[in-house]
Amino acid sequence: MLEIQQITKRYQRKAALDDVSLSLRTGEIFGLLGPNGAGKTTLIRVINRIIEPDQGTVRFKGDLLKQKHLIHIGYLPEERGLYKNMTVEAHAFFFGALRGMTKTDIKQALDYWLNRFEIQSWRKKRIDELSKGMAQKVQFICAVLHEPELLILDEPFSGFDPVNVELIKQELVEMKAKGKTILISTHNMRSVEEICDRVALIHQSKKIMEGRVSELQESARVGEYAVKFRGTMIGFVNALWTGFELIDKEILGDDRFIARVKMRGDNQFEDLLKVLIGAVKIEAAWEVLPSMQELFINAVSVKEDIGK
């Protein structure tokens, strides 16, 4: 769907993007991660043809990305803005027309989304009559109104309450099911784990990691397991001896705990279960994979250490 090849962009002497390549497949949700100032927004602007790269190309469905392709792209920028004195409906007609929609199509699409979000009463409201969160929703509608093949969302969850974050996530998953491709730039790692198929991490203008969420987590596994048990914590610790290391514990009740344990030496998960059986009553046990949050922090701090 979208091929980003060796994009480099410099502002004055500082590189905003340094030889970044990415590939987005049709019908996937792709997470673009990175700390502030890493170059995510620059990359998104390059994809939207808002700025031109110094080097590199962007291909949309095999063709070099041109102005004509932009009507197939929906964009929700990080810094939101609407015309304060225009109504919700007027915004829909304005942005819909710019993306080549007919008035009938715009009306139908607007009806659909207003019903979907149960905000029919907002239709004639001016933006300055809406709260910030409400305006964000209107902007989301304006970005998806023309059913773009590629939807680019820069921090789509910021400014939304948890209920609306879930609502937006649900919509994105449904759009993905309809074959739409979605690129999300976000700091919300939980959302990344929940809805992204693949991610790329950009740091200091370079891409330092790319892959499926599950594969990245697998590749970063450190032999850490969680055991949910009934018994005493002393009994649990005594059973571990020197082959395992207790990292953390969570108290669920008077005699119920979840303990996180790391393997030492050549010990395996089976060995852990063997030593625990009899000492405590095991209710569940599973391997703990690093969260995207941890992967993100590790990757960024490692890169910074190397830089030093």
Footprint on residues 83-112 left by another protein (CB under 8 A):
83-86, 94-95, 97-99
Task: Answer for the pair 35, 300: CB distance below 8 angstroms, yes or no.
Answer: yes
Q: How far is the CB of 103 from another protein (least distance, A)?
A: 12
Strand order in the sheet with 244-251: 244-251, 256-263, 224-230, 281-287
- Using the contact rule CB under 8 A, the part of the chain among 20-28, 48-56, 104-112, 258-266 near another protein is 48-56
Nearer to another protein, 49 or 281 (CB): 49
Nearer to another protein, 186 or 217 (CB): 186
Q: How far is the CB of 90 from another protein (least distance, A)?
A: 8
Q: How far is the CB of 305 from another protein (least distance, A)?
A: 33
- Using the contact rule CB under 8 A, the part of the chain among 138-146, 159-167, 183-191, 198-206 near another protein is 138-146
Among 50, 222, 252, 273, binds another protein (CB under 8 A): 50
- Using the contact rule CB under 8 A, the part of the chain among 71-79, 170-178, 213-221, 237-245 near another protein is 71-79
Among 142, 182, 292, 295, binds another protein (CB under 8 A): 142
- Binding residues for another protein, rule: CB under 8 A, are 45, 48-51, 67, 70-71, 73, 75, 77, 79-86, 94-95, 97-99, 139, 142-143
